[in-house]
């Protein structure tokens, strides 16, 4: 397994991986291209034998400069159950682009137990708290068409707990 930053040519494979990982929201192909091109320092690919088996996208929110926002985590069936998502996020947090981040944030629906387990595990590994608050409400923000998204905030992060991992 190799971890690397994405390039624009990875866009179609990233789009296909996200489509194969419900309940992830399918972004437009163009959005995935922009993430691979403009946000490469904040995204990571796990590749095995030339095939993309893992993807984490993220960015540094301008409104919260101390945070790193994890947008999507996608792991192909053959990569699941091996801690790949945790290792990719940890590797992302170890990058220089995230060095000043004191918190990792993300949004998760209440019923996404796999994601909650991942983020609780990261908080435990890093020895920090995980706070959970409703951010985007089902009725108010999604007009009833999507479940409430909860903001998970992990931190404050002590850099001694973040170690770059190789694939």
Residue 101 lies in a domain: yes
Which is nearest to 22 in space by CA: 76, 59, 79? 76
Is a pLDDT exceeding 80 seen at residue 165?
Answer: no
pLDDT band at 167 (very low <50, low <70, confident <90, very high): low
Determine the pLDDT at residue 23.
Answer: 85
pLDDT in tens, 26-64: 889 999 999 999 999 999 999 999 999 999 999 999 999
- Please report whether residue 167 resides in a domain: no
Residue 60: which of 124, 105, 119, 14 has the closest Cα?
105
Q: Does residue 166 form part of some domain?
A: no
pTM: 0.93
Domain assignment of residue 32, given as a range: 2-161
**Domains identified in the chain, total number:** 1
- pLDDT score of 55: 98
Token pair recorded at residue 65: 């400069």
Instruction: Report the C-alpha gap between 39 and 37 in whole angstroms.
Output: 6
CATH number, residue 87? 3.40.630.30
Report CA-CA distances (Å) from 81 to 66, 77, 119, 156: 31, 9, 15, 27
User: Residue 18's pLDDT is what?
Assistant: 96
Q: Report, as an integer, the average pLDDT of 138-166.
A: 88
């Amino acid at each position: 397994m190799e971890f690397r930053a994405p390039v624009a040519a990875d866009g179609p494979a990233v789009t296909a991986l996200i489509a194969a990982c419900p309940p992830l929201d399918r972004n437009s192909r163009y959005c995935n291209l922009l993430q691979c091109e403009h946000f490469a320092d904040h995204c990571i690919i796990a590749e095995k034998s030339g095939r993309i088996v893992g993807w984490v996208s993220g960015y540094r929110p301008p409104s919260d400069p101390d945070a790193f926002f994890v947008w999507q985590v996608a792991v192909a069936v053959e990569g699941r159950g091996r801690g790949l998502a945790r290792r990719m996020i940890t590797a992302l947090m170890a990058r220089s682009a995230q060095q000043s981040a004191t918190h990792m944030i993300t949004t998760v629906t209440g019923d996404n137990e796999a994601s909650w387990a991942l983020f609780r595990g990261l908080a435990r590994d890093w020895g920090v708290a995980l706070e959970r608050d409703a951010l985007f409400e089902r009725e108010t923000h999604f007009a009833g068409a999507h479940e409430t998204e909860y903001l998970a905030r992990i931190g404050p992060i002590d850099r001694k707990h973040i170690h770059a991992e190789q694939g």
